[in-house]
Structure 1
Amino acid sequence: MTDPSSIERHSYDVLIVGAGGAGLRAAIAAHEAGARVAVICKSLLGKAHTVMAEGGIAAAMANVWPEDGWQVHFRDTMRGGKMLNHWRMAQLHAQEAPDRVQELEEWGALFDRTADGLISQRDFGGHRYARLAHVGDRTGLELIRTLQQRTVALGIDVYMECTVTKLFQSGQATSSAEKRASADGRITGAFAYWRESGRFVVFDAPTVVLATGGIGKSYKVTSNSWEYTGDGHALALQAGASLVNMEFVQFHPTGMVWPPSVKGILVTESVRGDGGVLRNSEGRRFMFDYIPEFFKAETADTEEEADGWYEDKAKHRRPPELLPRDEVARAINSEVKAGRGSPHGGVFLDIASRRSVEYIQRRLPSMYHQFKELADVDITAEPMEVGPTCHYVMGGVAVDPDTGESAIPGLYAAGEVAGGMHGANRLGGNSLSDLLVFGKRAGAAAAEAATRAEPAAGVSDDDVRAAAEAALAPFERQGGENAYTVQQDLQDVMHNLVGIIRTADEMEKALQDLGKLRERAQQISVEGHRQYNPGWHLSLDLANMLRVSECIARAALERTESRGGHTRDDFPATDDSWGAVNLHCTLDGESIAVRREPLPTMPDDLRQLFEEK
């Protein structure tokens, strides 16, 4: 039995779980507010998935188009999210994104420049104007470098290769409803383990900011790296918070499809923003066949007009390749299903015939090297093979828009793990500005709350002992399931039954299969010791992946329409009655409950923006 007195222990005002852009921005804000702050990251500092956001940071700075402004950005974001976004989050995001970008530059970020020396901004799907501040196609890397450098310079404590498995809470409340209905359940700390040694560590803290990213490793084909196992989503559920919009999973339309070892790795939307076009196996530019009614007024329906847009955006309508990601992903999926796909199950993305070698190597250096080194394809001379890949989850912890606090006192969330900002679909580039805006807000709010929190008795020995025993349970079993086999089966279920196109029968089958997988996961056994034991790590991650996967499947079964990142083959139309409702998932015992909640009412002055021509 584990002796709690022998476990490493630390005390802070604000504990940040995750060291991507949202986590680091939250840590900086909390530190600047005077709090004692620690950052815990599952991997190494600087390796966060934020680096995969290559195209740019969406912010209406009006450096390229003076007509741009926060109202236009707000409207684009709401329309891209099919009006299911929390209007207040979309408003704050659009208003504050330019300041957050400017702040990065003041901290040392090096952006590409316009001819007159301003931060350059590029086009991306769903955005009315060119508004993505960028550093070639390595923007996420520059963002992380800048925030990481500032975090270290401020002396903020960082615990690398450390994984949180449990949030501690005060009181005796056990059900999610009890925790949300009273002060019982306030955050008091977290339980974690060092991945290298397997030793445990306890953090006492009155506030925790979740910034753990997404859920992509529940899917077979994904752009996400190994860390994205839905840890923050599951920790919030276990604590009693609700998850909103979980049915909306974004399949980025362009991931690498060949060779198999790199299938799913992201191909930035910048390729299309800089003039790349999508072609099927017949060489035809097929996106003109898939322009939805909602976007017809602003989307070119001829190649001549689409190509003219790059030279004169005031006279021409946008190319259909720059429709929102959900529209493009569905179009590619349809072409492949119709037998017009590429040899390896995707379509062709061609920029070689449209831009010079010098232009491609200057604007898209990462893409050039990625395909050259990993697929032996020279994108300056031949097209890329691309296809949809699980990339982002719009759903996450339901939070207060202004503070980022969940329904559980002391528990905050920011970035991809937080829900509400993007509604049914996220526009490219909005993820980086989202994590900057709400990372800052969550960190500052958590620091302020920590100063008001009454001194806690600290995490009890009994709670620590229970968390340790739960973490060690796989070592107590002999001859049980293999964690990697269970994960592979989970990925097959989600890919085949809860993927880009869904039906009731398939999702009901998925829920049955997930129930069986949950039983198998409880019988996982691991061999060896706690040191350097990836099988043990995965066995703990699997519980989170299974909970989040059930949320996605149950919410997707409940929403009987197609909207944004959620497409039902048996309900192909968008239903106006569903346009006023968000779905919230909560933990009810050991299963997931889904409830409907009306959208918050948008003020008249913002609603008028959608009535203007």
Structure 2
Amino acid sequence: MPITTDIQIHAVNVLVIGSGAAGLRAAIAAADAGCEVLVVGKRARTDAHTVLAAGGINAVLGTRDPEDSWQQHFADTFKEGYGLGDPAMIEILVREAPDAVRELADWGAPFSRLPDGRLDQRFFGAHTYRRTCFAGDWTGRAVLETLARRSEGIPMRESFYVTELLHADGECFGAFGFDLDTGVRTAIYADAVVLAAGGHTRLWRRSSSRRDENTGDGMSLALLAGCRLADLELVQFHPSGMTHPEEIAGTLVTEAVRGEGGRLYNALGERFMSGYDPERMELSTRDRVALACYTEITSGRGGPNGGVFLDISHLDKAVILERLPRMYRQFLDHQLLDISTTPMEVAPTAHYSMGGVVVDAETTATDLTGLYAAGEVTAGVHGANRLGGNSLAETIVFGRRAGQAAAAWARDRTTIKRPAAVVAAANERLASVIKRGDEFARPLQRDLRDLMWERCGVVRDEDGLKQALIGIDALTDRAQQVDVSPTAEGHADLAHLLDLQASLLVAKATVLGAIARRETRGCHNRSDYPELDEALAKTLEVSMDDRELRVGSRALPEPAPELARLAALIPDLDPTGRLTE
């Protein structure tokens, strides 16, 4: 069944691309402002990547620790990001998170509460005080389902793939895409667009993202439309992901396992964290534990599936079932392994994109007029290491701001150009990739993920990164020959090719940033530049000029002196009793 060449036209005030927490919160804000809104997403409304966020959402409520303050939350976030976070964005986040979380609670989010009815809060790693609200170990799902209920009256097109942003003369006027089931193509005209399409962690061999999400397609959409991307090399690698079976490799093994007393061993039976952080052991910082696991594996002390061993079997099984029920079921379902008796084999996994689209702190506006962005697709908040619990807060705070700003722009816009030639060109570009070929997208996606893991993974060096560029160029050439043959069963192979093309572009931008950042800072480990370089306390930006990627840099503004002093005073915190996810 060939894909239809007919083009449907749809027009709205505000188009939201992405149906996760950031996208739904933007849609709610725009609708509340009186705009006609449409949300499009590749997945179902309640199945976006947000559902995988487990631990909690940060807000200074003072429930457990009344002495907490937004200033301290700022200082913790700025320090954990190794000074690369945008002070303006961080301040907005920490000031507005309390009201945003209370709002979610008022909308019915099932956050845990104290006996007196106030929202409970727990410790997360690198937080001075307890400020993380939570709903068991499924906070992300609780937040997304709450937003889905709140947005029930807002139209949404599921299984819709956006192939490109529509723009002319520096202004965005919508997006072009197709239905994954029917192949019907649609030009969606919009007075304003919000991009909330996630990160790029699926570019790595082991990733906590699921298949066909976080492929960098949102970042690619923005880059091809003239926007800058920043700090893509800053990718957080979680210390523990599953190693097998193949289809779920990288799936997160929560740090709560270590928080409850889990111990890490290599294949020789050595509890190796004693050689990396003898005081904090398995409760060391995420980047340090990830590096330790990686070093043990690459030094030949890994297990049969390329991992190290995380053992919780010394705890009573009743305790494991009470404290770690999801992990118990996860290993039983996928490996027939009982973690109460047998160690888990784990390895580092790409977990979160700290870099992304450059946005204005106040409005979330991008370099393309009429285009706004929020959530993991953006850069600015997290610097070189994300503070646990800040990601969900970011989606809500900046999702709301993006929706409000997009609505204001849509209301005030008096004229808008919608050249038919731009839509026709988008249609032709989509049609041009539907052809017979000798290659297939899935194997090339795997090859790219292997390449990024080996050459731009937990530890990088210049030689390996340059080899990555050569490999990416070779895969890009092979991608020209991918077979795309839509059938009555759907158009998944077309989506796989488009994901691959986006991933190749964003992978190249990531590697270029990693080459330019000749230092070790936070999550970015350069074996050939092992020291932090104060001259590189700046954001590295990638832009596209005549189809070529260019790397530049931009100095970050300094935080207010009193906030900088507070960040400098933060000691290394005792991790006892703190989750770090």
**Is the pair's TM-score, using the shorter chain for normalization, greater than 0.5?**
yes
**Post-superposition offset of 1:345:** 2.4
- Return closer, same or farther for 1:260/1:564 CA change in 2, 3 Å cut-off: same
- 1:174-199 deviation line (CA, Å, top 9, x unaligned): xxxxxxxxxxx111111010000111
Q: Hey, what's the Cα distance between the residues in 2 that align with 1:350 and 1:23? A: 38
Which of 157, 160, 174 matches 2:158?
160
- Return closer, same or farther for 1:483/1:48 CA change in 2, 3 Å cut-off: same
- Map 1:147-546 → 2, pairs under 5 A: 147-152=147-152, 155-171=153-169, 185-225=170-210, 226-281=212-267, 283-291=269-277, 301-302=278-279, 319-354=280-315, 356-457=316-417, 459-475=418-434, 477-529=435-487, 532-546=490-504
- Return closer, same or farther for 1:384/1:248 CA change in 2, 3 Å cut-off: same
Question: Are 2:78 and 2:567, in contact at CA under 8 Å, matched by a contact in 1?
Answer: no
Which of 550, 566, 588 matches 2:524?
566
**Post-superposition offset of 1:59:** 2.3
**Equivalent position amino acid for 1:140 in 2:** G
**Post-superposition offset of 1:276:** 3.4
Q: Hey, what's the Cα distance between the residues in 2 that align with 1:3 and 1:357? A: 56
**Equivalent position amino acid for 2:478 in 1:** R
* 1:33 counterpart = 2:8: no
Q: Hey, what's the Cα distance between the residues in 2 that align with 1:479 and 1:30? A: 43
Q: Hey, what's the Cα distance between the residues in 1 that align with 2:99 and 2:127? A: 19
**Alignment partner, residue 177 of structure 1:** none
**Alignment partner, residue 94 of structure 2:** 94
**Post-superposition offset of 1:498:** 1.1
Q: Hey, what's the Cα distance between the residues in 2 that align with 1:494 and 1:383? A: 28
Greater shift, 502-511 or 527-536, is seen at 527-536
**Post-superposition offset of 1:577:** 1.3
3-state SS of paired residue (1:252): strand
3-state SS of paired residue (1:418): coil
Q: Hey, what's the Cα distance between the residues in 2 that align with 1:96 and 1:323? A: 30
- 1:128-157 deviation line (CA, Å, top 9, x unaligned): 3333221221111111111111111xx101
3-state SS of paired residue (1:205): strand
Q: Hey, what's the Cα distance between the residues in 1 that align with 2:543 and 2:289? A: 32
Which of 551, 554, 557 matches 2:509?
551
**Post-superposition offset of 1:35:** 1.4
Greater shift, 99-108 or 236-245, is seen at 99-108
**Alignment partner, residue 138 of structure 1:** 138
3-state SS of paired residue (1:552): helix
**Alignment partner, residue 63 of structure 2:** 63
- Return closer, same or farther for 1:361/1:220 CA change in 2, 3 Å cut-off: same
3-state SS of paired residue (1:201): strand
Q: Hey, what's the Cα distance between the residues in 1 that align with 2:500 and 2:247? A: 23
Off by >6 Å, runs of 4+ in structure 1: 1-4
Question: Are 2:17 and 2:40, in contact at CA under 8 Å, matched by a contact in 1?
Answer: yes
Question: Are 2:176 and 2:185, in contact at CA under 8 Å, matched by a contact in 1?
Answer: yes
Q: Which runs of 5+ in 1 are unaligned?
A: 172-184, 292-300, 303-318
**Equivalent position amino acid for 1:337 in 2:** T
3-state SS of paired residue (1:565): coil
Q: Hey, what's the Cα distance between the residues in 2 that align with 1:421 and 1:26? A: 18
- Return closer, same or farther for 1:419/1:350 CA change in 2, 3 Å cut-off: same
TM-score by length of 1: 0.88
Question: Are 1:125 and 1:323, in contact at CA under 8 Å, matched by a contact in 2?
Answer: no
3-state SS of paired residue (1:191): strand
Q: Hey, what's the Cα distance between the residues in 1 that align with 2:557 and 2:163? A: 33
Which of 574, 582, 595 matches 2:539?
582
Q: Which runs of 5+ in 2 are unaligned?
A: 571-581
Q: Hey, what's the Cα distance between the residues in 2 that align with 1:41 and 1:363? A: 34
- Return closer, same or farther for 1:8/1:278 CA change in 2, 3 Å cut-off: same
- Return closer, same or farther for 1:123/1:259 CA change in 2, 3 Å cut-off: farther
Q: Hey, what's the Cα distance between the residues in 1 that align with 2:401 and 2:489? A: 37
**Post-superposition offset of 1:364:** 2.9
3-state SS of paired residue (2:525): coil
Q: Hey, what's the Cα distance between the residues in 1 that align with 2:114 and 2:274? A: 31
Question: Are 2:3 and 2:184, in contact at CA under 8 Å, matched by a contact in 1?
Answer: no
Question: Are 1:325 and 1:427, in contact at CA under 8 Å, matched by a contact in 2?
Answer: no
Q: Aligned-pair RMSD on alpha carbons?
A: 2.1
Q: Hey, what's the Cα distance between the residues in 1 that align with 2:463 and 2:286? A: 26
Question: Are 1:249 and 1:393, in contact at CA under 8 Å, matched by a contact in 2?
Answer: yes
Q: Hey, what's the Cα distance between the residues in 1 that align with 2:475 and 2:465? A: 15
- Return closer, same or farther for 1:577/1:569 CA change in 2, 3 Å cut-off: same
Q: Hey, what's the Cα distance between the residues in 2 that align with 1:59 and 1:350? A: 33
Q: Hey, what's the Cα distance between the residues in 1 that align with 2:362 and 2:265? A: 43
- 1:486-513 deviation line (CA, Å, top 9, x unaligned): 2222122111111111111111111112
**Post-superposition offset of 1:390:** 1.2
Q: Hey, what's the Cα distance between the residues in 2 that align with 1:347 and 1:127? A: 28
Question: Are 1:471 and 1:540, in contact at CA under 8 Å, matched by a contact in 2?
Answer: no
Question: Are 1:219 and 1:494, in contact at CA under 8 Å, matched by a contact in 2?
Answer: yes
**Post-superposition offset of 1:530:** 7.3
- 1:394-433 deviation line (CA, Å, top 9, x unaligned): 1100111111111211111111001011111112221111
Greater shift, 322-331 or 335-344, is seen at 335-344
3-state SS of paired residue (1:11): strand
**Post-superposition offset of 1:81:** 0.9
- Return closer, same or farther for 1:502/1:412 CA change in 2, 3 Å cut-off: same
Q: Hey, what's the Cα distance between the residues in 2 that align with 1:34 and 1:123? A: 39
**Equivalent position amino acid for 1:329 in 2:** A
**Post-superposition offset of 1:612:** 3.5
**Post-superposition offset of 1:78:** 1.1
- Return closer, same or farther for 1:496/1:380 CA change in 2, 3 Å cut-off: same
Between Structure 1 and Structure 2, how many residues are aligned? 568
Question: Are 1:244 and 1:395, in contact at CA under 8 Å, matched by a contact in 2?
Answer: yes
Question: Are 1:80 and 1:324, in contact at CA under 8 Å, matched by a contact in 2?
Answer: no
Q: Hey, what's the Cα distance between the residues in 1 that align with 2:335 and 2:113? A: 31
**Alignment partner, residue 14 of structure 2:** 14
Question: Are 1:59 and 1:131, in contact at CA under 8 Å, matched by a contact in 2?
Answer: yes
Question: Are 1:415 and 1:434, in contact at CA under 8 Å, matched by a contact in 2?
Answer: yes
**Post-superposition offset of 1:2:** 10
- Return closer, same or farther for 1:65/1:574 CA change in 2, 3 Å cut-off: same
Question: Are 1:122 and 1:273, in contact at CA under 8 Å, matched by a contact in 2?
Answer: no
Q: Hey, what's the Cα distance between the residues in 1 that align with 2:183 and 2:485? A: 13
- Return closer, same or farther for 1:557/1:611 CA change in 2, 3 Å cut-off: closer
Q: Hey, what's the Cα distance between the residues in 2 that align with 1:539 and 1:23? A: 24
**Equivalent position amino acid for 1:468 in 2:** N
Question: Are 2:265 and 2:310, in contact at CA under 8 Å, matched by a contact in 1?
Answer: yes
